Amino acid sequence: MAQQIADLRDIEFALFEQFKIDELSEHEIFADFNKKTIKMIISEARQLAVKEFIPTNKPGDEEGCKFDSGEVKAPECFHRIYDLYKEGEWLAMADDPESGGGGMPYSIYLVANELFMGGNLSFMLYNGLTHGAAKLVETFGTVKQKELFLKKMLSGEWSGTMLLTEPEAGSDVGALTSTAHKNDDGTYSITGNKIFISGGEHDLTENIIHPVLARIEGAPAGTKGISLFLVPKYRVNDDGSLGEFNDVVCTGIEEKMGLHGNATASLTLGGKGNCIGTLLGEENKGMRAMFVMMNEARQLVGQQGFSLATAAYMSALNYARERVQSAHILKPKEGGVPIIQHADVRRQLMIMKAYVDALRSLIYFSGVVFDGARVSQDQEEKYALERLIEILTPIIKGYITDKALEVTSHGVQVYGGYGYTKEYPAEQYMRDSRILMIYEGTNGIQALDLFMRKLRMDNGKPFLDFLARIQKTVENAKACDSLQNLAACLQDALNRYQEITALMGKTAAGEKILNAVAHATPLLEVTGDITTAWMLLWRATVATEALKDNPKKKDVDFYDGQLKTAEFFIKSMLPITIGKMNAIANMNGAVVEISEAGFGGL
């Protein structure tokens, strides 16, 4: 069976039945994107992913990137798909047409990305960072910077990166040592070293545009003194043509566990004193500006994790249907059966399906919220939707990438011994997923962001609005006789969750703040669990209504699958979440009370 990376029926269910995304065409800016057009776009993206991206995933992983004397060559097979991706204008499909974009709903961009990243994540990393860097230019750039860089970046003619991390300043960006000296012509001479730069050097484009964080000489210490600069690999002349090399030298690339097809580079800027950048935005406000890109990147990383999870699930599901081994436990004398008939394999597949279904809905929901903010004419509503996106960001980045590793691990297990070999894609999905919990802000940082900032933002109103949306789904489910029990279970979990968040907030306000902080990651996990149950119950209510309309047999099976998936998670896994919340309620301080020597190893 041909390799699959996503369930098209489930994609359409989430888009058109759960979120009714085609109703966006009622708004003027999306008038051209009715259901038929959206399905055509998704079909084109899927065809490109299946026919072109998937065949390059394994070869790109095996070949990897090659470093030689400051130059990096991407896997050879990436050049063709880069040209196809660029020609299809996929990078800027949801951006403003005046900037060179396609003006499509962001929700549809997320679907296309799901397919492309599931087909070849290493390749798509080059494009994701380019888009984020271009948005910085669009948001903070001068007229000249936009004229010189924006359309060439959004078209994919030039690529982009994000230069934050330094050898002695990882998650603590404020400790960076890169400096900027202001020149008489208003430009800046940049000096510094950056590491772990995804796509920092490669041969897919003729120029690479680097947004760089550095400190202007004499600026305050810490994040308050950081500015953002636009530093191209090759200088750009006033007419848009390429000038001389800009003293941005790649000193090496990392040998990594996964994502071998994407170059993770170390870069030296101004080693010969000839690196010139221009200020992007205002002096000493670079960190605030960079968060525009980082927030987009964090949501993107969550989708990267989901894309690997859904690809791993589809791969494991197809294998389980084909792989014949051992007799059915109820028919021991009838010979081997496909392993999907064995209860424990079904359990693993159900765990994978529950997360994949729920996380697809969560990601699409974030797109719906984003598009809603774009079309809203009510400033209060627009503000509320933008704050909701902020609440969702650490859940999408942190929780989804945690679960991506879990889902891809189950995928290896379903394959058995073959899953641990390179004969099948399961092991690559798992390897590629591991970094997602680390880059763009470790998941521990996402947990702190959720607990210390997002729950308290605007006196807690956006967070309460988020909980109110979950409550609304619970109320809708209570109106369905067949879902009342599941709704009651989620209601109990939601009530307990509200008690736990209040307890953590109270603890954080007292002397035992570290006890609360030590439970930030468990809080993120239970928040994600509640969100997963929410999305699955929402799906179940939609499926219940659809079953009243006498659907075709294959759709009956699909909708029943939605009901059984929600039942499984809420009945079998949500009780574990209750246990996690009970553990949090103890506010045990062992983690912060143990001495360093008490950890041993001395």
Beta bridge partners of 189: 181, 276
Q: Which residue type is seen at 529?
A: D
% of the chain exceeding 90 in pLDDT: 91
Nearest to 533, CA basis, from 491, 504, 505: 491
Mean pLDDT of the 577-583 span = 97
The mean pLDDT value for 212-221 works out to: 92
Q: What is the DSSP letter of 169?
A: B
Q: Assess if residue 570 is contained within a domain.
A: yes
Cβ-count burial of 261 within 10 angstroms (0-12 exposed, 13-18 middle, 19+ buried)? buried
Report pLDDT digits (tens) over 224-233.
Answer: 899 999 999 9
Report residue 322 as tokens.
């084909």
Average pLDDT over residues 406-414: 98
Q: For residue 124, what pLDDT is reported?
A: 97
Q: Give me the residue label for tokens 């170059």.
A: 263
pLDDT of residue 504: 94
Give mean pLDDT, residues 345-363: 98
DSSP single-letter state for residue 457 = G
pLDDT-based confidence at residue 294 (cuts at 50, 70, 90): confident
**C-alpha span between 466 and 456 (Å, rounded):** 13
Give the predicted TM-score (pTM) of the model. Answer: 0.95
| 86 within domain boundaries | no
Task: Tell me which of 291 and 402 has the higher pLDDT.
Answer: 402
Please identify which of the residues 296, 440, 525, 567 carries the catalytic annotation: 440
Chosen domain end from 284, 319, 353 = 284
Using alpha carbons only, give the angle 470, 474, 475 rounded to the nearest 5 degrees. 115
Report residue 190 as tokens: 């940049």
Residue 2 has pLDDT above 60, yes or no: no
Find the CATH number of the domain harbouring 190: 2.40.110.20
Mean pLDDT of 24-33: 94
Question: What is the pLDDT averaged over residues 138-159?
Answer: 96
Q: Which residue has better confidence, 572 or 292?
A: 572
DSSP character for 219?
P
pLDDT at site 271: 95
**Residue 216: closest CA among 277, 153, 265:** 277
Band (pLDDT 50/70/90 cuts) for residue 167 is confident
On whether residue 179 sits in a domain, the answer given is yes
> What proportion of the chain, given as a percentage, has pLDDT over 70?
99
Lowest mean pLDDT among 146-160, 165-179, 193-207, 279-293: 165-179
pLDDT of residue 173: 67
In a domain, 234, yes or no: yes
Band of residue 170 on the pLDDT scale cut at 50, 70, 90:
low
DSSP designation for 95? S
Q: Which of 258, 284, 310 is the last residue of a domain?
A: 284
Q: Say how many domains are in the chain.
A: 2
**What pLDDT score was predicted for residue 168?**
74
How many other CB atoms sit within 10 Å of the CB of residue 438?
16
| Residue 9 included in any domain | no
Q: What is the mean pLDDT of the chain?
A: 95
With respect to residue 249, please indicate whether it lies within any of the assigned structural domains.
Answer: yes
Q: What is the mean pLDDT of residues 323-344?
A: 93
Indicate the pLDDT class of residue 292, thresholds 50, 70 and 90. Answer: confident
Q: Is the pLDDT of residue 1 over 60?
A: no
The reply to whether 440 belongs to the active site is yes
Domain around 241:
142-149+159-284
* Residue 598 reports pLDDT greater than 80: yes
- In the chain, the amino acid numbered 97 is P
Q: Is residue 18 part of a domain?
A: no
pLDDT given at position 65: 97
State pLDDT tens for residues 493-508: 999 999 999 999 999 9
Domain end among 284, 302, 335: 284
CB 124 within 8 A of CB 113: yes
Name residue 72's beta-bridge partners: 67
DSSP 277-335: EEE-SSTT-HHHHHHHHHHHHHHHHHHHHHHHHHHHHHHHHHHHHH-EEEEETTEEEEE
* Mean pLDDT calculated for residue range 412-424: 96
The whole-angstrom separation of Cα 75 and Cα 63 is 6
Asked if pLDDT for residue 171 goes beyond 90, the answer is no
pLDDT at 391: 96
Judge whether residue 369 has pLDDT over 60. Answer: yes
pLDDT tens digits along 42-90: 999 999 999 999 999 999 999 999 999 999 999 999 999 999 999 999 9
What's the confidence (pLDDT) of residue 172?
A: 66
Task: Give residue 324's pLDDT band: very low, low, confident or very high (50, 70, 90).
Answer: very high
pLDDT value of residue 301? 95
